Chains A and B, each alone.
Chain A
Amino acid sequence: MADTPDYSWPSMESRKAMGKSIKRLDGPVKSTGRAKYTSDLRPRDMLYAVYVHSPHAHARVTGVDTSDAEKSAGVKAVHVTAPAGTEVQYQGWEIAAVAATTEQAARVAAGRIRVEYEVLPHLVKDDDLSKATGRTKQGGEKVVGDPDETFKNAEVVSEGQYGIPIANHCCLEPHGAVIQWQGDKVYAWPSTQDVTTWATQLSPNIKVDATNIKVKMDYIGGGFGSKFGPDAWGETAARLSQKAGGRPVKLFLERDAELMIAGNRPPAYGKIRIAGKKDGTITGWQSDTWSTGNMPLPYIIDQIPNMRIKHDTVSINSGPSRAWRAPNNQQLSYLTCSALEDFAAKIAMDPIEVFKKAVEYAPKARVELYKYQLDKAAELTDWKNQWKPRGSGSGTVRRGLGLGISAWGGAGHNSNCRTTINPDGSVLVEIGTQDLGTGTRTIITQVAAESLGLPMGKVKLVIGSNDLPPDAASGGSSTVGGVTVSTRRSSVNALAKLFEAAAPALSAQPADLEAVDGHIRVKGSPNKSMTWETACKKIGPGKISEMGSFNRRQPAPGMNDQGVGGVQIADVSVDTETGLVKINHYTAVQDCGLIVNPRLAESQIYGAIIMGISTALYEERFFDQQTGKYLNADMEFYKLAGIGDIGDIKVHLDIRPENDKRGVIGLGEPPAVAICAAIGNAVTNAIGIRVPHIPMTPSHVLDALEGRIA
């Protein structure tokens, strides 16, 4: 393997660009409004498209009459997506769309489409199985060991009921695209988490070769797992463009449709019983849960010797579910950690100690890590002095502390990068990836600059197009692990070529050269050196252009890794006369590998916790079962946390040599997992009684305090 260049990361101490808290490169263009998101685009001759959505939660379309709309002023195309016979499964289902010269003209025309429905019975609420007759599917029962005997002979059995509802993604930029279908070519500007395979997903639906679909996206206003494909609206926009003679068409969902149809996170409800000993040892687990999807319990501590696990699914007439920042983990963490906290309270033991015993049932590789993190989190929050047994507080406003734990993968995805070095010294790095707002642009540039021994400003980066070397979807916190390795490899490969070109002038062998601070020099003889520009002049004619890849079937030990744990602690105050919950402090101890940029890593954790606090305290959909209507498909009563609602967040990034040597691991999702668990447990600790249902609203808190929960 002598010919294989050494791609391994520079040592922690020697890094110049990596490991530094560099501000995100696109911060200024984003904060000044100069960054153009897809929904900002307005190419020449663009048409505006507007959807007609089903007002019914469940119905059969019996007729769609578009004749008036077609004659409406400014209309260039009408496309029916749900013809007569279609069974509509939720409010907001797309029926037809109109493209017109102005937004107003499109709206007027959409209002002239007449749709007839045969209304069918609906179920829009998922929290009461007794009202879901005919809508449930039993998932069977999983039995491990002897749960019956264990519960019968247990020293202690704790029991609780818990619920966490559907949450919407609430991307600031709704779902949509601008698309132009001209002849046999399609130009698409989608808002997507997957620039590379967007075209291959659309291709079979519109029967255009994927090679003829050009995809470009510079900036995306949020995805959170809900923007992986072209979706129905991608195809609809394409068809409208084709019908309109190839004019570009912009089709973005309105805010209400965005909440109704563009994704939600499944709920989880149910009862959990834990059997154990008074010393905190857990001996048995029993859960009986339901959701609109699967919920494999228990979370993390899945090696409990005796278990009975039952889970049913229920189908309701609300929009389809989609991946939401660490899919299902927030729900699973909430159910599991709530049950653990209730067990700890039952035996009057410090939950830190109970969790430390419980994580003995976690996958072996992470048992010690969780124990370390629990101690670390306890130390950072002064848990020993600050935590008080459940309900021991008095007064109107009571303080409580609560725990939550998380697990995630974060392995890198397949990625290809091209690094080009020109004779004038300029450097171009190209990857068909996307920056979801996480700082991917900055990270790639840091890795390239580090690898080439150049300042950040010397590296030009191009991402966001399927003409570029293919990358993959930004999902599962996989981007950073993929793009850092492909960028490192392509840059090291390109540098090797530059060394070959420059070596004769330095009277050295290429293998003896190194690139440091904008110079190419002989290792160990810093005097034998030339500037980067002088070295690049030796390239000509032509240029150096080298590829580098990461393929997840060929692991890159030391370069990237997967599998992280985390512990979080919420410190809250609960006003027992209003049920208002305020976050005093929120502390996150996050396992991570090599940190390319501590500022951006912390920023990911802040963002995840802010999103989590919002779900823990505010976010809730309200459906009226009588009419099937989603009543708060807006950002007024679908409440989102604002800056004043967040409290103080403390992040502990675990930067240690033993973590660094694992390589790069994704961080977008793991810190978003444990928040409902930690806050729910903190509220319970404060007021002495379990508030079973997330979010922790005045209504839910007071209903629990005043005994209105059945």
Chain B
Amino acid sequence: MWEKVFLKRLRRELPLWVEKGWVAPENHNLILDDIAARTSGTRYTPVAFAVLGVLLFGVGIISFFAANWALIPKLVKLALLFGSMWAAFAGAGWLLVGQRQINRGMTPALQLLGVILYGANIMLIAQIYHIQSHFPNGVLLWTLGALAVTYLVPSQIVAVAGLALGALWARLDIFGDLPTPIAFAETVYWPFFIVLALFVPPIIRHSWRIAAWLAVLAFAAWCAISLVSLGIESDTDAVHILQVGLLFSLAVFLLSAVLERLDRWELFADPLNRLAAIFSMLSFFGLTISDVHGRGFVVNAPNAAPLEWVIGTLLAALLVAAMFAWRNYITRPSAREPYIIWSRVLLVATILLMLVNLFASAIISATLWIYLAFNILYLGAVVWLIYTGYRTGDRFRVNGGFLFFAIGLVSLYFDNFWALLDRSFFFMGAGVLLIGGGFLLEQQRRRLMSSMVAPTDPQPGEGST
């Protein structure tokens, strides 16, 4: 998909480059033909069809077994379970040995079928022998099987399946069975982090981009759940959790700029950058809400942070500083661009404000200024996001910036006018704000997007984050 986007953009840009004399006119079509030959929709199509076919076939086999399960003797059941799994892997092996033409999509698809049947076998053997165990352990065993296959016979689709199974296992282990009330684990769930980390080496080795995205998504979810779990466990106020969340997200955001320059880790840079940007802005937005500072419905100022959260916040701030230094050392960003200077000012101001808040949160008179300062810095972060997005041609940042601006505006309205205006005026005002503000924002966003002709990639040695 990304190649198609690249080709589309190239088609748009090449005439301009020819006009400016950067590309010889006779090379225009040669470049497009070459890229088109290398980037075709056929790369993923056979794999996608093969995987869909395999899934349907797998469902069919399992349904057949299920329909006739009671009638089948135990030994035949075992032969069917083992035989079907071996058959799937034998098919993959047959294609591998002959290097047959159809193996491009079918080999990984058959490996996936083998892994699916392995999981079905775990569950069905547990059923045949009435094995009563902690249910998520079965899913963990399945995940580890997928991991083993990923290492021994590398295949992105199996790695993706393994990561999804790992997430399912963690989900079941942390939250329990679906009908039971949701309850977070009491502490950080390290086992999932270990399993996730085990998937990283093959992802890097084989440059699997889809698996990299999934791994980063799982990592982000794990970080968020861990942070909330720690907060619940220590009975900490939301403001302290949000501050650590923001600092950690900023550290990851800076780390992504470093990874961009590291050969094998580069494929993690984009997903980490985007998710860290989203989590940073969400945490920042949380810090702009008046209740968090004890100035809305919640009128009590937040309690002073427990010692472990003071230490955690300071460590997170040090981590941001370390990442900032590492990023500067690796990328040597140019100071000519104003947004680079703004980013430094914003970063330092945000950290300083958080440190002040950390030690002054119990002083009621200070909470108004801290609340206002967070709102001003949030606005600064939104403008910075839109501006850097515009300068670097990153539509994701521009769209994200406008979205967070709108969210911030609505939240500010609810925060400050709910108690001041009569309810009817309040809702009328909210309606006008949403209709008018939304129209104006969308107009500005479209204008900005249309003026973004092409991305301005950072110069060599110059970072954009």
Genuine A/B complex: no
